[in-house]
């Protein structure tokens, strides 16, 4: 009994019944044979998803937007951050002017290394950490507490609910006011991410995330924001949703390839990353006085002198082979990458060779990256990204000069409609969902590129769907404060159906890809988040949380947790439709609830996917005091007999005050298990 108790790391009891334990394979197999045990799954490791943005979304602080005023900045909504912890001393988390902690809060302030009771406050009202399974050899690399020594969790928490901090910038870049979306919301911190092994290594386990979800249900959070790549905890997230919690997940950073989304269960909000209307132009002056412009987060360190001309060399693709025999010490190196792969991996290889060679700067020509690096990221040198056209011009200059030189100026910041936005970031993972193809994912896009937010006592830029997810969590907090009785499904519906599909110039939003293209629902779901519209959507697609059980049989099994039942999930009342195998006419039913004016009439507008005919019955919905919910039927008919790809359309309900649009994805097929690879 003593050994059995000692082996248990977590006990799950608030959302579902279960436990995590350190077992040998034989012990696990023996345990699985017991009639009381439904199933066993091995613990798995996962990864983290890594100022201007709120103004860009229409939530201006000075003067305050109407939504911020009406929601009182999300006051007393409790946002749970499941991440790498938090840095409580950051200015973004002070609790000046906050009232007492809401009486419904049942959480704890768990003490630990460098974390005392004073580190919890009326802003950070709860803190827990989950270190079971972390190798003791890595304890010294971490604070054994909710304190964040990675920075990821602090960044996401301040993005969602950080208070107003004036005069924030990174060495002059991105200067302005740093704040979260819901500045009056409370924060509850659940630390599940740990430093492990070498530089950049992290330990993030399924068992810990499930334990955090289970505790969050008990503690009484309203929203959970998870910037994590954990696809196996849809089971725990379902229980959170069925207990009234809105769960927001990052969609992953493996774009622009399709079918690489994380966290695609229909009961969570899966978030893609988009770009905002800000850029960081960096002047590159060649020795012939020609000035070209790249982008970077390059700034001068305190001990650096003014910019000057330096020797410039062409390093080809800057692989070890290409740099072999080329002297790059104290020279600026041009690196040209004509292939496309994971930018992080490519740049890591390039950067290692350039730094080891003692280069004084790097001009990196690449198709597009969306991720910029600061001077500190680049070990004190300038790392400027340019496109291949500019890279070619620099290479041509180098080839024409006996002693080519270049001068790189520090970056500047430009915001506003000079920068077309939003666009879907190239790294943002794309649909369709492999696990749940009858559920259209992602749900929504939100700012996730070069976001300036807190890290320890400073502020840094980070990019990723990790940064996009807390933007959505912050918006949900405002909506929850404004509409306290709305369900999770209603909140999600309001966000999806009011999203923007056009940019500031009323042209279709683009998605960075190969090549750049008009965005479709597999890039951004309903579109780019529109908080003002979501506050007053007119109609919502609501779901009783119990209905998920009709479509998904959830139990913990090896490699799979929630399986689709025989009832296709496109019949679930989601604010989207995805049909991966259309072969004959089908009817899809939906119902909408009126949350706008009591007496209202809505017309329908259909944009049929290519190769598909769609009709709707009835085409007009009339609402009044006695008729608040209307059901309708969409008949979807294939016009072709072909093994096709996905095409996209939409259904919009509209009147003079509101527009509620849902995205639709359809693939016509004629065979099962047809691999679309040749």
Element spanning 192, H or E: none
Q: Please report, for the domain that includes residue 360, its CATH number.
A: 3.50.30.30
Assign residue 628 the CATH number of its domain: 2.60.40.2310
User: Is residue 635 a part of any domain in this protein?
Assistant: yes
The residue whose two tokens read 């502020």 is 459
Annotation says 46 is catalytic? no
DSSP code of residue 374? B
- Residue 171 — very low, low, confident or very high, per pLDDT cuts 50/70/90? confident
* Whether residues 151 and 260 fall in one domain: yes
Which of 492, 522, 538 marks a domain boundary?
538
* 29-43, 144-158, 164-178: range with highest mean pLDDT: 144-158
- Phi, psi torsion values for 315, nearest 5 degrees: -95, 15
Sorted by sequence, the CB contacts under 8 Å of residue 3 that are 6+ apart come out as none
User: Does a structural domain hold residue 168?
Assistant: yes
Least confident among 267-271, 567-571, 637-641:
567-571
Q: Is the pLDDT confidence value at 421 over 70? A: yes
Helix axes 206-219, 234-242, angle to 10 degrees: 10
User: Tens digits of per-residue pLDDT, 46-69?
Assistant: 666 546 888 889 898 888 899 999
Banded model confidence at residue 559, pLDDT cuts 50, 70, 90: very low
Single out the residue of 504, 556, 558 nearest to residue 530, CA to CA.
504
d(CA 590, CA 606): 15
Please tell me which residue in 90, 145, 148, 152 is annotated as part of the active site: 152
3-state secondary structure of 356: helix
Number of structural domains the chain divides into: 4
Q: Is there a single domain that holds both residue 397 and residue 438?
A: no
Is 549 inside any structural domain?
no
Asked if 241 and 380 sit in the same domain, the reply is: no
Which of 375, 165, 189, 193 lies closest to 282 in space, CA to CA? 375
The residue assigned the tokens 């300038």 is 382
- Give percent of the chain with pLDDT exceeding 90: 65
Main-chain dihedrals φ then ψ at residue 517, nearest 5 degrees: -145, 170
Tell the burial category of 29 from Cβ atoms under 10 Å away from its Cβ (0-12, 13-18, 19+).
exposed
Measured CA distances, 227 to 47, 143, 477 (Å) = 9, 20, 17
* CA neighbor of 445 nearest in space, from 53, 48, 164: 53
Q: Buried (b) or exposed (e) across 46-74, using 16+ Cβ within 10 A?
A: bebbbbbbbbbbbbeeeeebebbeebebb
Q: Are residues 474 and 512 in the same domain?
A: yes
Verify cis geometry, omega within 30 degrees of 0, for the bond prior to 515: yes
Identify whether 430 is part of a domain.
yes
Is 174 part of a structural domain of the chain? yes
Same domain, 232 and 104: yes
3-class secondary-structure state, position 199: coil
Q: Any catalytic annotation for residue 83?
A: yes
The alpha carbon of 605 is separated from its chain's Cα centroid by a whole number of angstroms, namely: 30
16 lies in the same domain as 72 = no
Kindly tell me the sign of the dihedral angle through the C-alpha atoms of 253, 336, 460, 199: positive
Of the three residues 538, 559, 586, the one that is the final residue of a domain is: 538
Q: What is the pLDDT of residue 340?
A: 58
Alpha-carbon gap, residue 452 to 656, rounded angstroms: 38
Confidence band of 179 (pLDDT split at 50, 70, 90):
very high
Model pTM score:
0.91
- Does 18 sit behind a cis peptide bond, omega within 30 degrees of 0 on the bond before it? no
Residues 511, 423: contact at Cβ < 8 Å? yes
Q: Is-contact 186 102, C-beta < 8 A?
A: yes
Is the domain of 504 the same as that of 447? yes
* 560 pLDDT more than 50: no
User: Which strand (E) or helix (H) includes residue 391?
Assistant: helix 388-400
342 has pLDDT over 60 = no
Clarify whether 152 is annotated catalytic: yes
* Residues 184 and 86 occupy one common structural domain: yes
**pLDDT score, position 43:** 82
Average pLDDT over residues 436-442: 94
Judge contact between 417 and 278, C-beta under 8 A.
Answer: no
Q: Which of 348, 371, 402 is the last residue of a domain?
A: 402
Say if 563 falls within a structural domain: no
Specify burial of residue 466 (Cβ count, 10 A radius: 0-12, 13-18, 19+): buried
pLDDT in tens, 364-377: 998 777 778 777 77
Sign of CA dihedral 243, 248, 249, 255: positive
> What is the 8-class DSSP label of residue 559?
S
- Which whole-number Å values give the CA distances from 182 to 33, 477, 618, in the listed order? 49, 6, 39
Distance CA 192, CA 142 (A): 12
Cα 20 from Cα 10, distance rounded (Å) = 5
pLDDT digits (tens, 9 = 90+) for 239-287: 999 999 999 999 999 989 999 998 889 999 999 999 999 999 999 999 9
Q: Are the C-beta atoms of residues 266 and 440 closer than 8 Å to each other? A: no
**Same domain, yes or no: 111 and 155:** yes
Per annotation, catalytic residue among 55, 83, 148, 214: 83
248 shares its domain with 113: yes
Count of beta carbons in the 10 Å neighbourhood of residue 86: 29
Token output for 98:
């906050």
Tell me the chain's radius of gyration from C-alpha atoms: 26
**Contacts (Cβ under 8 Å, ≥6 apart) of 222:** 77, 78, 79, 244, 245, 246, 477, 480
Range of the domain at 659: 576-668
What share of the chain has pLDDT > 70, as a percent?
A: 92
Instruction: With cut-offs at 50, 70 and 90, classify the pLDDT of residue 121.
Output: very high
Q: In which element (H, E) is residue 42 found?
A: none
User: Could you give the angle at the alpha carbon of 191 between the alpha carbons of 185 and 193, nearest 5°?
Assistant: 130
* CATH classification of the domain holding 77: 3.40.50.200
Split at pLDDT 50, 70, 90, the class of 304 is: low
Catalytic residue among 466, 493, 500, 578: 466
> Rounded to whole angstroms, how far apart are CA atoms 421 and 78?
31
Q: Is residue 553 part of a domain?
A: no
How many residues in the chain? 678
Say if 547 falls within a structural domain. no
C-beta atoms surrounding 153 within 10 Å: 29
Statement to judge: residues 531 and 605 lie in one domain: no
Same domain as 365, residue 260? no
Distances (CA, A) of 17 to 28, 38, 136, 451: 17, 10, 28, 39
> Are the C-beta atoms of residues 250 and 464 closer than 8 Å to each other?
yes
């Amino acid at each position: 009994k003593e050994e059995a108790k000692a082996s248990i790391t977590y006990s799950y009891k608030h959302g579902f019944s279960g436990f995590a334990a350190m077992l040998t394979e034989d012990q696990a197999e023996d345990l699985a044979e017991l009639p009381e045990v439904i199933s066993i799954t091995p613990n798995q490791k996962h990864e983290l998803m890594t100022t201007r943005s709120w103004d860009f979304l229409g939530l201006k602080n000075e003067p305050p937007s109407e939504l911020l005023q009406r929601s009182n900045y999300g006051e007393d909504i409790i946002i749970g951050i499941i991440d790498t912890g938090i840095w409580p001393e950051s200015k973004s988390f002070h609790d000046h002017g906050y009232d007492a902690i809401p009486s419904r809060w049942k959480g704890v302030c768990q003490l630990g290394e460098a974390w005392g009771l004073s580190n919890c406050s009326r802003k950070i009202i709860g803190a827990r950490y989950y270190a079971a399974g972390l190798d003791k050899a890595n304890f010294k690399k971490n604070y054994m507490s909710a304190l964040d020594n990675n920075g990821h969790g602090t960044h996401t928490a301040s993005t969602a609910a950080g208070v107003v901090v004036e005069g924030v910038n990174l060495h002059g870049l991105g200067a302005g006011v740093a704040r979260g979306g819901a500045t009056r919301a409370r924060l509850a911190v659940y630390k599940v991410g740990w430093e492990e092994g070498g530089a950049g290594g992290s330990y993030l386990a399924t068992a810990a995330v499930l334990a955090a979800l289970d505790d969050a249900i008990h503690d009484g959070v309203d929203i959970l924001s998870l910037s994590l790549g954990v696809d196996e905890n849809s089971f725990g997230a379902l229980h959170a949703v069925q207990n009234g919690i809105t769960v927001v997940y990052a969609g992953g950073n493996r774009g622009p390839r399709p079918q690489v989304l994380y966290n695609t269960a229909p009961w969570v909000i899966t978030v893609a990353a988009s770009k905002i209307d800000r850029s960081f132009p960096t002047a590159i002056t060649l020795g012939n006085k020609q000035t070209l412009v790249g982008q970077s987060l390059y700034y001068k360190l305190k001990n650096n002198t003014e910019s000057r001309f330096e020797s410039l060399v062409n390093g080809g693709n800057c692989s070890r082979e290409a740099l072999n025999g080329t002297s790059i010490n104290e020279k600026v190196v041009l690196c040209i990458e004509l292939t496309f792969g994971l930018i992080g991996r490519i740049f890591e290889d390039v950067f290692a060779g350039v730094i080891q060679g003692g280069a004084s700067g790097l001009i990196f020509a690449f198709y597009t990256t969306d991720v910029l690096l600061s001077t500190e990221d680049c070990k004190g040198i300038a790392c400027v990204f340019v496109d291949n056209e500019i890279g070619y011009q620099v290479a041509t200059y180098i080839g024409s000069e006996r002693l080519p030189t270049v001068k790189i100026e520090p970056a500047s910041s430009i915001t506003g409609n000079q920068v077309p936005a939003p666009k879907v970031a190239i790294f943002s993972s794309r649909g369709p969902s492999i696990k749940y193809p009858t559920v259209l994912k992602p749900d929504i896009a939100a700012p996730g590129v070069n976001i300036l937010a807190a890290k320890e006592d400073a502020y840094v830029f980070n990019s990723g769907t990790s940064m996009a997810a807390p933007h959505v969590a912050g918006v949900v907090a405002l909506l929850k404060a404004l509409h306290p009785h709305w369900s999770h499904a209603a909140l999600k519906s309001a966000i999806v159906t009011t999203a923007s599909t056009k940019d500031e110039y009323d042209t279709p939003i683009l998605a960075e890809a190969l090549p750049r293209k008009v965005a479709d629902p597999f890039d951004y779901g309903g579109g780019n988040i529109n908080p003002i519209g979501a506050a007053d959507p007119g109609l919502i697609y609501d779901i009783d949380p119990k209905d998920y059980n009709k479509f998904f049989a959830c139990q913990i099994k090896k490699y799979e947790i929630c399986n689709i039942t025989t009832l296709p999930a496109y019949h679930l009342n989601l604010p989207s439709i995805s049909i991966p195998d259309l072969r004959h006419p089908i009817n899809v039913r939906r119902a909408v609830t009126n949350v706008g004016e009591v007496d209202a009439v809505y017309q329908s507008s259909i944009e049929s996917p290519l190769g598909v005919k769609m009709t709707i019955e009835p085409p007009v919905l009339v609402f009044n005091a006695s008729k608040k919910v209307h059901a309708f039927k969409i008949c979807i008919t294939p016009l072709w007999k072909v093994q096709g790809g996905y095409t996209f359309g939409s259904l919009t309900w509209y009147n003079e005050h509101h527009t509620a649009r849902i995205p639709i994805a359809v693939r016509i097929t004629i065979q099962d298990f047809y691999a679309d690879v040749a």
